[in-house]
Structure 1
Amino acid sequence: MKKIITISREFGAGGGEIGRRLADSLGYDYYDKELILMAAAQADIDVSSLIEWDEKVPVNFGFTQSLFNFYNKPLSEKIFQAQKQVIRKIGEKGHCVIVGRNANAILKEYDDCLNVFVRADFNWRLNRMKDRMEHLTEAQAADEIRAIDRVRKKYCTYYTNTSFGSMEQYDIALNSSRIGVDACVRAVLALAKEDN
C-alpha cells in the first residue's frame, strides 16, 4: 500500500477533486493550498505575501542568486524552501495525498510514494472552469488557464530542474477528459492499494 500520493495537474484537469476523493477513500490527510499556510507559519512569512508569491519564479533570478543567503533571498525562494520542509515532514508522517507544490520531485526518494499526473484536453478544462471563473469572458478564462499552466511549468523547472508533465517524473499519467474523474479516482486507488 502506498502511504503517499502526489498529484501534479494541469489547471482545470480535476487534480484537486481527484486528490480530495482519494484522501477520503483512503482515510488519508489531504494537502493542497493549506501547505502554503503551514509554510508561512514555519518561515514567519506574512500570509498575504505568501499567497501573492505562491508558485511564482523570482523575477530577477540569475547568477546572482547564489550570493544570497536564505534570509536575503527573494520571497518566492523562502516560500519554496519553507514548503519543501513542510512537504518532507508530511511525507515522513505518510498517509497523505499532496496536490501540487512539486511534491513528486521533493519526495522522489520516498519508496512508498505514488506520483500521479492529471491532464485533460484544453476545451474540456475550459468548459469545466468557465462556471468557476464566471467573472471572466470565455477568452479571458482561456488566457488565464494558459497563463497558470505556463507559471506551473516555469516554477517546476526553476525549483526542481525537472519538466512539468514529463513522464520520467511520474508513475502514471491520466487524462481526466478522456476517462473521467471517477475512473481516475478508481485507477489511482487500485494502484495505491497494491503491495509492491
Structure 2
Amino acid sequence: MKAIHQLIEEQVRRWEILRREKSEAKSLPVITISREPGSGGKFVARAVAERLGLDVFHQKLINAMAENADTSTRVIRTLDERGVSMLEDWVSAAISDRHLWPDEYASMMMKVIGTIGRHGRAIIVGRGANFVLPPENRFRVRIIAPLEKRVSCVAEDFGISKQEARKRVLRTESDRKAFIRKYFYSDISNPANYDMVLNTGTLSVDSAAAAICSAVG
C-alpha cells in the first residue's frame, strides 16, 4: 500500500490538473460513510467507489491532510478563488449552526473535508464529514451490524481472540462517539443524522454498495 504522503501528493496533483482544465464533471453528491467498528464500512466504501469511479478518503488520509499546515495549505489551494470563498462559507455555517468552538486541528479538518466536497466525486469515511458538508452536496450513510458479528469480523481480520476483538471494538466505538460529541455536539448513532442506515448483519457488502449506488444514481 502506498504511503500516506504519496497518496496526498497524487491527489493534490489530480485536483490541480482538474482546476487548470476547469473540469465540471461532478454530478453525484459526496457520499459520507459513518460506520460501527467491525461493520465492514470500509469495504462498502471501496465497493461503491469501484462501481461509481469515486475517490475514497479515509480517516488516516484526512488526518494527514489536516495535521500538517503546509499540506493543508496545498490541499485548500487546489480550489479556485470562488471555491475557497464557498469553503469558508461552508465551514463558518457548520460552526455557527452547531455553536462550535473548534480548535486548530478541527478547523483545518473541516476545511480539508470542505475542499474534498468542493472537488466532488468522492467518498469520505468517518471524521464527521456528514456534519460539515452542506445538505445539497452530500449523501450521508451509516453502516451498522450486531455487536457479535462485528466482534467476529475484527477477530478474523486481525487474527486475534474474540475477547481481544471485543475490547478493540468497544474502545473504537467509544472513541468515535467521543470524537463526534466533542467536535460536533452530536450523537454518532442517531439515525436522524443520516440519509440511509444499512445493516451488514443482514446485507452483504455488495448489497449495501448496490443500495447506496441506487440511492445516489
Return 5+ residue gaps in structure 1 as ranges. Answer: 46-65, 71-76
Task: Give 2:157's aligned residue.
Answer: 132
User: 1:46-65 maps to which residues of 2 (within 5 A)?
Assistant: none
Distance between the aligned counterparts of 2:69 and 2:53, measured in 1? 26
Q: Percent identity?
A: 27
Distance between the aligned counterparts of 1:118 and 1:42, measured in 2? 32
Return 5+ residue gaps in structure 2 as ranges. Answer: 1-26, 73-100
Task: Give 1:154's aligned residue.
Answer: 178
Equivalent residue for 2:119, pick from 93, 113, 130: 93
Equivalent position amino acid for 1:130 in 2: A
- TM-score normalized by structure 1? 0.77
Query: Are the counterparts in 2 of residues 2 and 114 from structure 1 also a CA contact under 8 Å?
Result: no
Distance between the aligned counterparts of 1:85 and 1:3, measured in 2? 18
Cα deviations by residue, 1:135-177 (Å, 9 ceiling, x for unpaired):
x432121011011101111111111111112011100100011
Pairwise CA RMSD of aligned residues?
Answer: 1.9
Q: Whose RCO is larger (CA < 8 A, sep 6+)?
A: 1
Distance between the aligned counterparts of 2:69 and 2:212, measured in 1? 31
Query: Are the counterparts in 2 of residues 130 and 138 from structure 1 also a CA contact under 8 Å?
Result: yes
* Number of residues of Structure 1 aligned to a counterpart in Structure 2: 162
Query: Are the counterparts in 2 of residues 43 and 82 from structure 1 also a CA contact under 8 Å?
Result: no
Query: Are the counterparts in 1 of residues 33 and 124 from structure 2 also a CA contact under 8 Å?
Result: yes
1:10 pairs with 2:42: no
Query: Between Structure 1 and Structure 2, which shows a larger proportion of helix residues?
Result: 2
Task: Give 1:22's aligned residue.
Answer: 48
- TM-score normalized by structure 2? 0.70
| Paired residue secondary structure (1:178) | coil
Query: Are the counterparts in 2 of residues 31 and 98 from structure 1 also a CA contact under 8 Å?
Result: yes
